Amino acid sequence: MNAEWKAALARAVREVFENLCFMLPSPSGVSIPPETASLSRVILAVDFSGAGRGALHLTLPDSMIAPVASAMLGEDGPLELSEQYDAVCELANIVCGNVLPLIAGDRAVFDLASPRVIATMDADLGDSFDASARVLLDDGLVCAAISLQLAAAQGAA
């Protein structure tokens, strides 16, 4: 697993959740607990092409969906489930858009497909990714994984 890509993923997740959702990452040095097998979670995917091809997957507990959506949309009241999923899909899109320049450089151009929910309930990403990161936020554990095949002329930034 590429350590630089892992660090880039963790940085993108921390910054996006902190800036858009007001969810703070745990202080450095806090150990991340193992995931509970029975925890219900959602996996969001963003496919991309251009300077490279691949996909970003973002996994978060179901319990974070409503607070994330409310924070992103600035709504205090309850939101429709479709609005909540639209918001977390957009969050995955933003994480993807933030991590790709960290990995491939600022000049690399990518086309991002529409983000989508690919799994709910007891989901597992497996290990078919080039890098993954787990970020413990005050509202729960967020996992990100990326598979990326860079074009021959591209390299890590």
User: What is the set of domains in the chain, with CATH numbers?
Assistant: 3-25+39-150 (3.40.1550.10)
Instruction: Give the max Cα distance, the chain.
Output: 49
List, for residues 98-127, the tens digit of each pLDDT value.
999 999 999 999 999 999 998 765 555 556
The residue among 118 and 155 whose pLDDT is bigger is: 118
Tokens representing 153? Answer: 């002329």
SS3 assignment, position 103? helix
Which residue, 149, 17, 146, is CA-closest to 90? 17
Characterize 73-92 residue by residue with b for buried, 16 or more Cβ atoms within 10 angstroms of its Cβ, and e for exposed.
Answer: eeeeeebeeeebbbbbbbbb
Residue-level pLDDT at 31: 65
List, for residues 72-84, the tens digit of each pLDDT value.
999 988 899 999 9
Beta carbons of 73 and 3 less than 8 angstroms apart: no
List, for residues 139-148, the tens digit of each pLDDT value.
899 999 999 9
Side-chain half-sphere exposure of 129, counting CA atoms within 13 A: 21
Which residue, 112, 99, 118, is CA-closest to 45? 118
pLDDT, mean of residues 48-57: 95
Beta carbons of 81 and 34 less than 8 angstroms apart: no
Q: Where are the beta strands (DSSP E) in the chain?
A: 41-50, 52-61, 110-112, 116-121, 131-137, 140-150
Residue-level pLDDT at 110: 96
Q: Computed over its alpha carbons, how large is the radius of gyration of the chain?
A: 15
The residue among 156 and 43 whose pLDDT is bigger is: 43
List, for residues 1-46, the tens digit of each pLDDT value.
689 999 999 999 999 999 999 998 887 666 666 655 556 889 999 9
